[in-house]
């Protein structure tokens, strides 16, 4: 009878270790999601500052953030400095999952007007454990404002 209880203790120990390992992996992945949210917030603040202080002349070109793929290749579009700032501050995040909006548009901006930048990043959740709690995607959204000069 004593032999069976030793086997039971080993099995229980293995279950506890597996649970703690899964919890640790989920915690590390959750920290990655939190880091993503911090990057998005910082990128929105920097983009609002750049949009407010940009010396770009207003023209009729489409803004880089309004074109599919324009965020990755802002040359030839309006608000290129804003898109470059967003990419620089997002670091290694996938630019295909980023949505940017700036209001008012470059044509509508006047001196001493408030400029609002909103950045949305949709990150797919790879971990089955995190999917249980957070769903298939995590959406980090940040808004920032600046005054045009």
pLDDT band at 118 (very low <50, low <70, confident <90, very high): very high
Give the mean model confidence (pLDDT) for residues 1-5: 59
Residues 76 and 67: their CA atoms lie apart, in Å, by 11
Is pLDDT at 105 greater than 90 in this prediction?
Answer: no
> Is the preceding peptide bond at 44 cis, omega within 30 degrees of 0?
no
Q: Is the pLDDT of residue 14 over 60?
A: yes
Q: How many CB atoms lie within 10 A of CB 103?
A: 13
Query: Confidence band (pLDDT; 50, 70, 90) for 57?
Result: low
CA separation, residue 36 to residues 11, 12, 42, 71, 100 (Å): 38, 36, 10, 18, 15
């Amino acid at each position: 009878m004593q032999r069976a209880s030793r086997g039971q203790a080993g099995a229980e120990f293995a279950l506890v270790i597996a649970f703690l390992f899964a919890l640790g992996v989920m915690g590390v992945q959750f920290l990655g999601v939190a880091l993503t949210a911090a990057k998005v917030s910082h990128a929105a603040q920097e983009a609002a500052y750049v949009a407010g202080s940009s010396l770009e002349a207003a023209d009729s070109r489409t803004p880089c953030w309004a074109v599919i793929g324009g965020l990755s290749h802002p040359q030839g579009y309006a608000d290129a400095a804003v898109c470059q700032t967003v990419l620089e501050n997002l670091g290694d995040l996938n630019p295909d999952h980023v949505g940017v909006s700036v209001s008012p548009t470059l044509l509508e901006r006047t001196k001493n007007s408030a400029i609002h930048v909103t950045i949305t990043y949709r990150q797919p959740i790879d971990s089955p454990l995190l999917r249980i709690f957070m769903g298939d995607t995590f959406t980090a959204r940040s808004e920032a404002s600046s005054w045009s000069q």
